[in-house]
Structure 1
Amino acid sequence: MLTLRGAGATVEISEHGAEPHSLRAPDGHELLWQAGEAWRRHAPILFPIVGRVPDDTITVDGRTHPLTQHGFARDLEWDVVTSDESSATLVLRDGDETRERFPFAFELTAHYAVDDDGFATTYEVRNTGDDRAMPVSIGSHPAFAWPLEEGAAKTDHVVVFDAPEPAPIRRLDHTLVLPGDQPSPFDGSTLRLDPALFAPDAIVMDRVVSRGLRYLAPSGRGLRMTWDDVFDVFVVWSRPDGADLLCLEPCVGGAAPIDFAGELRDKPGVVMIPAGGRLAASYRIDPLLP
């Protein structure tokens, strides 16, 4: 485990999946879900796809490759490039195992840093091949404690986005996007949390306006999350069985439509990185004290 300490947060990161396992506020209060039986992860990196594709299979240049939900980056060991008291950089490169599932040369870097305000994350994807563009999506899947404080009611928590979010949302069927729009569950900029919101699975905001939000308990404890314009989809998810977690997920692209068929490059939301090119995306989580 790599431990980063700053005035705004203390973070622990595993080399397995380059996954944050702990995010504590300055008063020591844990904000991340601690990987209980209901969901065994904390804050995985989603790459080279976000969500699923039909039959867990992608097609590249007419050839099919098995690629399961959210890709493989979260399940592999990463190399530590640099690490000090307040920052760390880890890298994942293609190899025989990845090319069986995703036939491209790449370098995926996760840079983490803590500072006086909180915790910053930057992902960088490089197409290290020299002959073709590479189709990718990438996302972050941090799960936060819900409720944020012992004894607080789940239904007294809110997520307040920076701007009103009236656009229709999308819903999923077994992690694939259903056709058609669903009404926005927002009251202006506020999402009033209730386990019933997630009975139809995740809230997929593919027309999100805001680039920031606050997730708050009744006491005011919580977090501020901000993300850059590269993240074009935002997902809010909890398990429909009522597990004590809430995921707030900035993503580049999303799951495939349930009826999608064709080349990976034609999947909605995919970004094409030219040979030798790069894609970078950043977001922050700043703890808020009561």
Structure 2
Amino acid sequence: MNTTISNSTINASIKHSGAELFSLKNNQNKEYIWEGNPDFWGKHSPILFPIVGTLKNNTYTINEKEYQLPRHGFARDMDFQLVDKTENSAVFSLKSDAETLKKYPFEFELQLIYTLKETSLDIEYKVINKNQTKMPFSIGAHPAIALAENFENYAIEFEKEEVLKYYILEHDLISNKTEVLETSDNLIPLNYQLFENDALIFKSLESNSLTILENSKPYIKVDFEDFPSLGIWTKEKAPFVCIEPWLGYSDTSENSGDLFEKEGILVLDANQTFHSKFSITLL
């Protein structure tokens, strides 16, 4: 099942499977979200929960008991319930069950709240800890922005002038190796060579937003003030780029395995609720 929300300028469509955004169009019917062609990548904008990235050996421990989670967790592969809808907003909910407890021993509710405002789509995450104990988790976004022209016709402009240090992945884990992207006027021209070693992973940034430029003109803006970390990714010859606001990232090779000790992990107190939000604006 799918749900569509709209206003006078844009509309968005969300799959109930994974509560995944799969379409964002303006009123000229121009599509801004990647179509999901599996020849390149069969997703559009998956939700990353309760981990972001990859665990060492796909394994972690809680109270010395081992559990396994696939890359980016399980929420993206589960059916959400539509719990509220208006013309320009929709709320989806995923609750823990017997199956999730086998992989992640915590009672939770995850809500995805999509809201259209003029030419922007706000995507809010609400994580509710239903336990009497602390709950460790990460959460992240993975929207793939469709690029209709040649990849090299696009550039990314960061909000602030800063040193863009990113971490190199080795065997899907974050290594100690870093490189710095050279910028000119805060601009990174896109080319596929940037992604030869997979995603560019920024543990922290000064910028709270970035703008994708198409032929030097503003195309789309992503605001991510609530998210300290960011991934940028594409595949060779793929006509999209993923802008991925994260709270958390893959394990390092030195990680102990204890989820509470994982670098970048969030810990939510008993019976508390966590909120974060990012937005995509069509320009």
TM-score class normalised by the smaller sequence: over 0.9
Could you tell me which amino acid in structure 2 is paired with residue 271 of structure 1? Answer: L
1:227 is displaced (CA, Å) by 1.7
Q: Is the 8 A contact 1:165 1:188 kept in 2?
A: no
Q: What is the SS of the residue equivalent to 1:179?
A: strand
The whole-number CA distance in structure 1 between the counterparts of 2:114 and 2:89 is 5
| 219-228 or 33-42, which deviates more | 219-228
| 256-265 or 106-115, which deviates more | 256-265
Q: Is the 8 A contact 1:8 1:119 kept in 2?
A: no
Could you tell me which amino acid in structure 2 is paired with residue 51 of structure 1? Answer: G
Q: Is the 8 A contact 2:211 2:218 kept in 1?
A: no
The whole-number CA distance in structure 2 between the counterparts of 1:252 and 1:188 is 27
Provide the residue aligned with 1:206 in structure 2. 203
Pick aligned residue for 1:174 from 171, 174, 178 = 171
Q: Is the 8 A contact 1:82 1:89 kept in 2?
A: yes
The whole-number CA distance in structure 1 between the counterparts of 2:20 and 2:272 is 25
Q: What is the SS of the residue equivalent to 1:91?
A: strand
Could you list the structure 1 runs, at least 4 aligned residues long, displaced by more than 6 angstroms after superposition: none
Q: What is the SS of the residue equivalent to 2:110?
A: strand
The share of aligned pairs that are identical, in percent, is 29
Could you tell me which amino acid in structure 1 is paired with residue 36 of structure 2? Answer: A
Provide the residue aligned with 2:192 in structure 1. 195
Could you tell me which amino acid in structure 2 is paired with residue 232 of structure 1? Answer: P
1:220 is displaced (CA, Å) by 2.6
Provide the residue aligned with 2:110 in structure 1. 108
Provide the residue aligned with 1:96 in structure 2. 98
Deviations 1:210-241 (A, max 9, x none): 1111112117362111122x3110111011x2
Unpaired segments ≥5 residues, structure 1: none
Normalising by structure 1, we get a TM-score of: 0.93
The whole-number CA distance in structure 2 between the counterparts of 1:267 and 1:8 is 42
| 252-261 or 196-205, which deviates more | 252-261
The whole-number CA distance in structure 2 between the counterparts of 1:175 and 1:9 is 36
- 1:248 is aligned to 2:243: yes
Provide the residue aligned with 1:159 in structure 2. 156
Provide the residue aligned with 1:284 in structure 2. 279
Provide the residue aligned with 1:77 in structure 2. 79
The whole-number CA distance in structure 2 between the counterparts of 1:219 and 1:263 is 46
1:85 is displaced (CA, Å) by 1.4
1:187 is displaced (CA, Å) by 3.1
Q: Is the 8 A contact 2:173 2:253 kept in 1?
A: yes
Provide the residue aligned with 2:143 in structure 1. 142
Could you tell me which amino acid in structure 1 is paired with residue 234 of structure 2? Answer: S
Deviations 1:90-110 (A, max 9, x none): 011101111111100111110
Q: What is the SS of the residue equivalent to 1:44?
A: coil
The equivalences for 1:17-28 within 5 A come to 17-28=18-29
Q: What is the SS of the residue equivalent to 2:176?
A: coil
Could you tell me which amino acid in structure 1 is paired with residue 32 of structure 2? Answer: L
The whole-number CA distance in structure 2 between the counterparts of 1:124 and 1:186 is 35
Pick aligned residue for 1:257 from 234, 252, 265 = 252
Provide the residue aligned with 1:52 in structure 2. 54
Q: Is the 8 A contact 1:164 1:190 kept in 2?
A: no
Provide the residue aligned with 2:228 in structure 1. 232
Deviations 1:242-266 (A, max 9, x none): 2222000001011111332231010
Q: What is the SS of the residue equivalent to 1:243?
A: coil
The whole-number CA distance in structure 2 between the counterparts of 1:176 and 1:8 is 41
Q: Is the 8 A contact 2:231 2:243 kept in 1?
A: yes
1:77 is displaced (CA, Å) by 0.3
Could you tell me which amino acid in structure 2 is paired with residue 124 of structure 1? Answer: K
